Amino acid sequence: MKPHPARPGDIVQAIDTPALVLDLDAMQRNIERMAAFAARHRVRLRPHAKTHKCAAVAMRQVAAGAVGVCVQKVGEAQALAEAGVNDVYISNEVVDTEKLARVARLAGEVRLAIAVDSALGVERLAHAVRAAGTTLDVFVEIDVGHGRCGVEPSTAGALARQIVAHGLPFAGLQAYHGRAQHLRSASERSQAIAHAAACVRGAEASITRSGLACPLVTGAGTGSFLYEATSGVWGELQAGSYVFMDRDYSDNEPTPGAPVFEQALFVKSQVISRGAAHAVVDAGLKAHAIDSGLPTVWQRALDFSNGGDEHGILRPQTMGPQEPLPELAETVWLVPGHCDPTVNLHDHLVAVRGGLGDGRVEAVWSVDARGRTD
C-alpha cells in the first residue's frame, strides 16, 4: 500500500514528493463563488466529480448548495456512493449489461440518474432496472456541437418516448458542449453555446411533439457556464474544473461577468539533479497529465519541459524575467496542464490550510474514485 505523503499537522515542507496538494482556502473560495453564481442565476449546480473523484470535495460542494454531483463512469458512482455521496448522475452512456446491472443495484442505494443516446441503451437499462426492482432518472443526451455522444436533437422526442414506454422516468436533456470549454476567446465560447442552445430548443420541440414535457436541461463546464446560465435554456450546471483550475483554463480569455476562480491544485516536486543550466524535478508523466500541455512553474520565472515518466526539466525562461535555477533538494510547485486526468494519477490529495508557503496539512484525502474507469 502506498504510504500517505503527509499527516495532518505537518508543515508543507514535510510533504513527500511528488504529491498532489490542494490549497484549501482557495478551493473553498472557488466553491462559494460558483454556488453564489448559480443561486444568483436561479440554476441548480451539480458539479462534475470526474475532476476531483473525492467524496470530501463533493461533500463541501453539496454543503455550499450543490444538489449532488455528476460522474462519467459507473465505477466513479460506486466509489463516491460508498464514500457517502448520495445523489449522483452518470452523465454518460452505458450499454454493457454487466455494468447496467451494477447501475441498477446502485439505484437502490442512492439517488441515481444516467444518460442514454440509443434505443439499445434504453432497452438494456430498463431490463437491468426491472431485474433489480429499482428505478432512476434517465436523461436523453443530445449532440449540441461536440460531435461525441448524443442523438441528433430532432430525434430526442422519440428516444424520450421509448424511455417512458419502458416505465422509466424521463428526466430531461443532457446537453454538454465539451469542446466549447477550451475555445480561447469569450466570443467563440459564447457563439458555441448559442448554437448549443438552438440545438436544445430543437430537442425540446421534438419532445413536445412527442407528447412529453422536458423537466430539466443539464450541462455546461468551467469555460462556458455563464452562457448556459443566462441562456434561459439550461436549469442545471455541471462545471467541474472550477474547484481546482489548471494551466489550460488560465489560457482562456476570461468570460466577462463570470466569477474568477483561483488556482487551488498543485503538484509539489523536488529538485533531484542540477546541471549548469538546468534543474531536474521528480515529477513527470506519472505525476501530471500533459494532454492539454505541460505544467507551468508556480510563481517562478522558469520553463518546464518534459523529462519523461518521472522527471521534469526546468530552465531559465526563454522570454521575460530571469531568476536563478532552484538548488538541489529545493521544492518546486507545478500547476498541472489539465486537472482531471492529473488527479486520477494520485491516491491522495494533501489539503493544506494557510497557503503553500507557511501553511499546514489539514487533511489527507483519498481520491476515492481514482482509476475507476469501469
Where on the chain is the footprint of its own copies (CB under 8 A)?
Answer: 2-3, 5, 16-18, 50, 72-73, 75, 79, 92-96, 98-99, 117-118, 120-121, 143, 147-150, 178, 270-275, 278, 280, 282-283, 285-287, 289-291, 306-311, 313, 328-329, 338, 340-341, 344-347, 370-374
Query: Which residue's CB is nearer to its own copies, number 60 or number 346?
Result: 346
Q: Are 219 and 177 spatial neighbours (Cβ–Cβ below 8 Å)?
A: yes
- Cell numbers for 149, please give them: 455522444
Integer Rg of the chain from CA: 22
Side chain identity at residue 327, one-letter code = E
For the chain, the residue count is 374
Closest approach of its own copies to the CB of residue 374, in Å: 6
The answer to whether the CB of 369 falls within 8 A of the CB of 75 is yes
Q: Give Cβ neighbours of residue 319 (< 8 Å, ≥ 6 apart).
A: none
Amino acid identity of 71?
Answer: V
Closest to its own copies by CB, 109 vs 374, is 374
Q: How far is the CB of 81 from its own copies (least distance, A)?
A: 14
- Residue 32 CB, shortest distance to its own copies, in Å, is 26
Minimal distance, residue 288 CB to its own copies, in Å: 10
At a CB cut-off of 8 Å and minimum separation 6, what does 337 contact?
Answer: 246, 247, 248, 288, 289, 290, 291, 292, 293, 294, 295
Strands (E), 134-229: 137-141, 170-174, 217-219
Minimal distance, residue 372 CB to its own copies, in Å: 6
Strand segments (E) across 25-85: 44-45, 69-71
Question: Which C-beta is closer to its own copies: that of 176 or that of 234?
Answer: 176
At 257, list the grid cell: 461577468
Residue type, 287: A
C-beta closer to its own copies: residue 48 or 235:
48
C-beta closer to its own copies: residue 168 or 314: 314
- Comparison of 273 and 299: residue with beta carbon closer to its own copies: 273
Q: In the bound complex, what is the minimum distance in angstroms from residue 101's beta carbon to its own copies?
A: 12
Alpha carbons 207 and 136: distance in angstroms, whole number:
20
46 versus 338: smaller Cβ distance to its own copies: 338
Q: How far is the CB of 117 from its own copies (least distance, A)?
A: 5
| Dist. CA 184–CA 246, nearest whole Å | 14
Gap between the terminal Cα atoms of the chain: 21
